[in-house]
A and B are shown apart, each in its own frame.
Chain A
């Protein structure tokens, strides 16, 4: 079983739509969680950290469910510029090992 699993998508949505997807992790000792965005042939860039109580950054909302070991990302009012691959990243602070999901591809169409 992979340490971090994501629905690869693609999620094809019209502009203005809401899209949400999850990421599950297998290591219950995982302590930090992040969502990264990666555009085609570029390096990943931090979108947002995920806090225990859930957090929002503009149109993006991240949630953490420790009991079920998943995190989620919701994008409201999708823009064309939101088209990208979204990577889930889990950090184990015991050994500073980071584990990546394979990414969820989102395509927003006009």
Chain B
């Protein structure tokens, strides 16, 4: 079955360490997104990519980096510069054309202590 996979589901890191969250999709979608969700808040856009080798900053890109070397993969690195990295991270994709809803991965819950 086609879908979008995030791994791991839970991730624990020490403060000051960089950590990379994986996002893979086999839906042949062009556009991919990374969101962050904090308790009681809506999803906030970190980065998005419309096409391979191209990506744009979202609303809260500081302290994060991404790459889009392959169509199916859009990893997110949470760097030590991110002040409050503990959150629920969601990756999503769309075909990138027409009126298409988001397909979400099941999320990675990152805890930094």
Contacts and interface: CB of A to CB of B under 8 A. Distances in A.
Interface in B80-113: 88, 90, 92, 94, 96, 99-102, 104-107, 109
Interface of chain B, helix or strand or loop or mixed?
Answer: strand
Given A34-B101, A43-B106, A45-B104, A100 B35 contact: yes
B45 to A, nearest CB: 7
25 contacts: A6-B42, A31-B99, A32-B99, A32-B100, A34-B102, A41-B88, A41-B109, A43-B104, A43-B107, A44-B102, A45-B104, A46-B101, A89-B102, A91-B99, A93-B99, A95-B50, A95-B56, A96-B48, A96-B96, A97-B45, A97-B48, A98-B48, A98-B92, A98-B102, A100-B35
A102 B42 contact: yes
A44 B92 CA distance: 10
Interface residues of B, number: 27
Interface of A: 4, 6, 31-32, 34, 36, 41-46, 49, 87, 89, 91, 93, 95-103
